[in-house]
Amino acid sequence: MYHSEVYNIMIGSPSDIQEEVNTAINVINRWNYVNSESENIVLMPLHWSFSSYPTCGVHPQKSINKQLVSKSDLMISIFGARMGTPTDTEISGTVEEINKHLDAGKDVMVFFKLSIDDISSIDTQQLQKIKDFKESIKDRALWCEFTNNEDFEKIINEKIQLFVNVHWKNTQVFNPILPSRSSQLQLSDEEKQRLVVWTNEPNAESVSFSFNRGYLYRLGYKQYEVNEGRENAECEDFFKRLRNADFIELEKYNKEGRPIYKLLKAAYDYVDTLDIKQDNPT
């Protein structure tokens, strides 16, 4: 048994390029057979023909976007003699998939086939769309061209290996995944609100003082009175959990020998994930 990182590779193309689609899938699967155990990486090919399910009520391309594009880490787009069927927003489904990947900051490989297998099926309008598309992306894309399926197999095998080496290989140590300290932190809604208030204060320190009826805790410039032993224990536990999560660190002690803590960046990052508006808790 070994632990691997799984990367989804979406293959997009118009319908005239099916042979090359199958080749790309086979190349990806062969890469897994040879490399997945030693590299701790699994490449998962995605294609609408076997990776999507039927839906109703939305444009078919939108279903593909939701089911495949949203979870894809890399797109391989292959064009032959056709641009494909227009969608409700783009000149073809493949182009929409490319743009969705790019908008999400994901990588896209683009391949163009130079030869046409069936001359009788030539559609000059489709060829012109391919030409126009290449012209439109020339300043923002580096594409590859190939002549036939055998040529494409060699190229795609090389490019996938190169991409894995640059982007995915040796990026992580594949040990059993341990939860981060922040993911283990359990805070009540009131404690989350107090942390939100504290991180919004210009003073990042916490100070606690004792007085004749109990304790006074100050988070930044916000003060909380604690009058019972149980409440004080809960406050002390609050600081203990924040410290265990690396949200605060001990800075010094006050004159009464009580600890003064300071907020750390992890606390601010955690608060950014919370959907809580600042109010005035007591």
Q: Is the distance from CB of 152 to CB of 20 less than 8 angstroms?
A: yes
| 204: its two tokens | 């990042």
Higher pLDDT, 185 or 189: 189
Token representation of residue 191: 């404690």
Evaluate whether 212 touches 225 at the Cβ level (below 8 Å): no
Q: What count of other Cβ atoms lies within 10 Å of the Cβ of residue 174?
A: 13
Q: How confident is the model at residue 195 (pLDDT cuts 50, 70, 90)?
A: confident
Other C-beta atoms closer than 10 Å to the C-beta of 84 total: 23
**What fold does the segment set 181-272 form as a domain?**
Arc Repressor Mutant, subunit A (1.10.10)
Where are the extended beta strands (E) located within the chain? 5-12, 41-46, 74-79, 107-113, 144-146, 205-211, 214-219, 222-226, 248-253, 259-263
| Chain length of the chain | 282
Token digits of residue 134: 């290449």
Residue extents of the structural domains in the chain: 5-168, 181-272
More confident residue, 196 or 184: 196
pTM comes to 0.59
CA 48 vs CA 10, 62, 70, 93, 130: distances in Å: 9, 12, 13, 11, 22
pLDDT average, residue stretch 44-49: 93
Per-residue pLDDT, 216: 77
Question: What average pLDDT does the chain have?
Answer: 84
What is the structure's pLDDT at 178? 42
pLDDT in tens, 226-264: 777 788 788 888 888 888 888 888 888 777 667 888 888
What is the full DSSP assignment across 28-85? HHHHHHHHHHHHTEEEEEE-HHHH-----SS-HHHHHHHHTGGG-SEEEEEESS----
Here the tokens at position 142 are 């580096």
For the chain, the first-to-last Cα distance in angstroms comes to 52
Task: Specify the pLDDT at position 175.
Answer: 43
What CATH number labels 5-168? 3.40.50
List phi, psi (to 5°) of 200. Answer: -95, 0
